[in-house]
Structure 1
Amino acid sequence: MDTGTHVVMGIALGALATIDPVVASSTHATMGIMAATIIGSQIPDIDTVLKLKNNADYIRNHRGITHSLPMLAIWPLLISTVLYFIFPAATFLHLLLWSFIAVGLHIFVDIFNAYGTQAIRPFKDTWVAFGFINTFDWFIFSSHVVAIIIWLLGAPAGPTFFTLYGLLALYYAARAVTQRMIKHAVRNLIPDAEEIIVASTIHFFQWRVAVTTKDHYYVGRAFKRNISIYEKFDRLPIPNNEIIRSAKLDKNLAAFVSFSKVYNWRIEEKLDATYVTFTDLRYRSNGHYPFVAVVRLDDDMNILSSYTGWIFSDEKLQKKLTPVAI
């Protein structure tokens, strides 16, 4: 989920914790637990700082080890140890419990996005991504905000937040069922589909659709249960030639391939260089595919520059690929 949603989730958990007499016993204790739940709801995303380094490391590692099983113990222990010195009235065990719940909830809800997490690491490095909840979901965010406001106005924490979580459980179930129905409709439309990716968007009734068959890729949208296929691409094997072998040595392209599930490729020989472009087909937006990896090679197959990430115009891509003059 996005940062804002994780924040309101942390506040909601801190508010719910006030049903515990120890937490409610003093303002000091309440503040300590609230700090624990808010920090716990954010800390798995500390790997976002990798984006300051480069996109390749960010793509390879975001929601990786920081969202793994060992961190369910490590993060709460770190948070509780630090906060106990500031808020001893909260008690170490209560800080540990509520920070554990916050961290666990963060990791749990992220698996329902299309991006997913490596939540079962170290047993497997597989990315777990169900894709039926958008990274930012208006209903989830707004319902948390409403519940928090109702609590601040004096409503009891227990009934308020248990009602919230009950409604959210029904919402998640409804989204999962809707995704399954759309996949079934896609299967009827493209019977030879080998893989069907149906991912939510910020719009409640709209879903992104990407389909892989033996010979083709299909890209489209679903509105409710109505499927529209916008484009069809030949599924061409990646050649094992000198150009591709050289491009694969680039860390940006390697990061892209490790993350992307459905992509096509092309090789373009231009005056200034040879361009190898890989395009993720899952994120079509207004007829454009913004998530790409591009490698520029000279005549001797040396890497001149490269980029991976979100690009919405050729001009911006060229700026990313053009070395800065010193």
Structure 2
Amino acid sequence: MDTGTHVVMGLGLGALATLDAAIAQDPITAQSVLIGTLIGSQAPDFDTVLKLKNNAVYIRHHRGITHSIPAILLWPILISSGIMLFYPETNLLHLWLWTFLAVFIHVFVDIFNAYGTQALRPFSNRWVALGVINIFDPFIFLSHIAGLVLWYIGANPGYTFLTIYGILVLYYFWRIYEQRKLINAVKERIPDAVEVIVSPTIRWSRWHIAIKSETQFYVARGEGTTIHIQDEFDRVPVPQTPVLESAKEDPNLSAFLSFSPVYRWEIEETNEGYEVRFIDLRYRSKGHYPFVAVVQLEDQLEITSSYTGWVYSEDTLRKKLDPAID
């Protein structure tokens, strides 16, 4: 989920925690738990700082080890220990339990996005992305805002958020049901589909769809259970040519391949050598595929420039590959 949603979820869990008798009867513990759930709801995304290094490192590691099973256990210990330095009288057990819940729910809800997480590490580096809930879901965000407003004007915070979270559980089941209907509709439309990757949008009824068949890639838009095919590409395996093997050594392309499950590729000969481009088919915006990896090589197959990330125009991409271009 986005940062704003994780913030209000942290506050919501702090409100829910007031149903815990050990917290309701102890103002110091209540305050420390609210701080713990707020920090815990953000902690797994502290790896965003990796973006300061470069996109390749960020793409390869974001929602990786910080969302892993060991991290889910470690974050609450670190956060609770830090809070205890300022609130030594707090109930450590209950502080740890609610901080743990905040960290766990952060990782759990991220699994339902199209981006996903590597939540099964260290047992598997596979990305778990269920593609049910958009990165920013207005219903989830606004329901938390409504709960916080009710809390502010005097409603019981615990029961308010217990009701909200009960509604949100039903909401998640409804979204899963809608996604399954869409996937079944895709398989009826394209019987030889071997994989269907669905990405929700901010609109409940609209979905982005990438489909693999034995011979084709399809890019589609779902409106309810109506499928609109937007693009179709031949599914051509990546050959083991010297140019492509050299390009794969580049950290930007390597990061892209570790993250993207469905892409097409192309090679262009240039005056200087070659340009290799890999294009993620999950993301389509106004006829353009903005998430790419590009590697430029000279004739001797030495890499001269590369980039991976989001670009929405060819001019912008050229500037990323050659910062000297104004």
Superposition TM-score tier, normalisation by shorter sequence = over 0.9
Report the secondary structure of 1:46's partner residue: helix
How far apart, CA to CA, are the structure 2 residues paired with 1:273 and 1:311?
23
How far apart, CA to CA, are the structure 1 residues paired with 2:280 and 2:189?
22
* Paired position in structure 1 for 2:133: 133
Kindly provide the CA deviation profile for residues 80-106 of structure 1, in whole angstroms up to 9, marking residues without a partner as x.
111011122322112111110100110
* Paired position in structure 2 for 1:254: 254
* Paired position in structure 2 for 1:241: 241
* Paired position in structure 2 for 1:157: 157
Cα deviation, residue 277, structure 1: 0.2
Residues 310-325 of structure 1 correspond to what in structure 2 (within 5 A)?
Answer: 310-324=310-324
Alignment length (residue pairs)? 325
Q: Which TM-score applies when normalising by structure 2?
A: 0.97
How far apart, CA to CA, are the structure 1 residues paired with 2:204 and 2:91?
42
Cα deviation, residue 73, structure 1: 1.5
Tell me the amino acid that sits aligned with residue 292 of structure 1: V
How far apart, CA to CA, are the structure 2 residues paired with 1:251 and 1:195?
27
How far apart, CA to CA, are the structure 1 residues paired with 2:323 and 2:283?
27
How far apart, CA to CA, are the structure 1 residues paired with 2:298 and 2:272?
8
* Paired position in structure 1 for 2:66: 66
- Say whether the 8 Å CA contact 1:29–1:88 is kept in structure 2: no
How far apart, CA to CA, are the structure 2 residues paired with 1:64 and 1:122?
10
Per mean C-alpha deviation after superposition, the further-off stretch among 156-165 and 38-47 is 156-165
Kindly provide the CA deviation profile for residues 18-39 of structure 1, in whole angstroms up to 9, marking residues without a partner as x.
2223323354332211110000
* Paired position in structure 2 for 1:81: 81
Q: Which TM-score applies when normalising by structure 1?
A: 0.97
Give ranges in structure 1 of 5+ residues lacking alignment: none
- Say whether the 8 Å CA contact 2:210–2:262 is kept in structure 1: yes
How far apart, CA to CA, are the structure 2 residues paired with 1:89 and 1:172?
38
How far apart, CA to CA, are the structure 2 residues paired with 1:21 and 1:185?
49
- Say whether the 8 Å CA contact 1:22–1:90 is kept in structure 2: no
- Say whether the 8 Å CA contact 2:29–2:95 is kept in structure 1: no
How far apart, CA to CA, are the structure 1 residues paired with 2:7 and 2:115?
19
Question: What value does the CA root-mean-square deviation take over the aligned residues?
Answer: 1.2
Report the secondary structure of 2:258's partner residue: helix
Tell me the amino acid that sits aligned with residue 145 of structure 2: V
- Say whether the 8 Å CA contact 1:267–1:275 is kept in structure 2: yes
Cα deviation, residue 125, structure 1: 1.4
- Say whether the 8 Å CA contact 1:193–1:212 is kept in structure 2: yes
Kindly provide the CA deviation profile for residues 163-182 of structure 1, in whole angstroms up to 9, marking residues without a partner as x.
10111011100100000000
* Paired position in structure 1 for 2:170: 170
- Say whether the 8 Å CA contact 2:19–2:159 is kept in structure 1: no
* Paired position in structure 2 for 1:2: 2
How far apart, CA to CA, are the structure 2 residues paired with 1:171 and 1:41?
20
Report the secondary structure of 1:282's partner residue: coil
* Paired position in structure 2 for 1:309: 309
* Paired position in structure 1 for 2:112: 112
Kindly provide the CA deviation profile for residues 136-159 of structure 1, in whole angstroms up to 9, marking residues without a partner as x.
101000101101111121111232
Kindly provide the CA deviation profile for residues 245-278 of structure 1, in whole angstroms up to 9, marking residues without a partner as x.
1101101001101110110000011224411000
Indicate the percent of aligned positions where both proteins have the same amino acid.
Answer: 54
1:229 aligns with 2:220: no
How far apart, CA to CA, are the structure 2 residues paired with 1:236 and 1:19?
57
1:31 aligns with 2:31: yes
Cα deviation, residue 323, structure 1: 4.7
* Paired position in structure 1 for 2:92: 92
Report the secondary structure of 1:70's partner residue: helix
Cα deviation, residue 17, structure 1: 1.2
Runs of 4+ aligned residues of structure 1 deviating over 6 Å after TM superposition are none
Cα deviation, residue 285, structure 1: 0.8
* Paired position in structure 2 for 1:19: 19
How far apart, CA to CA, are the structure 1 residues paired with 2:21 and 2:225?
48
Report the secondary structure of 1:88's partner residue: coil
Tell me the amino acid that sits aligned with residue 134 of structure 1: N
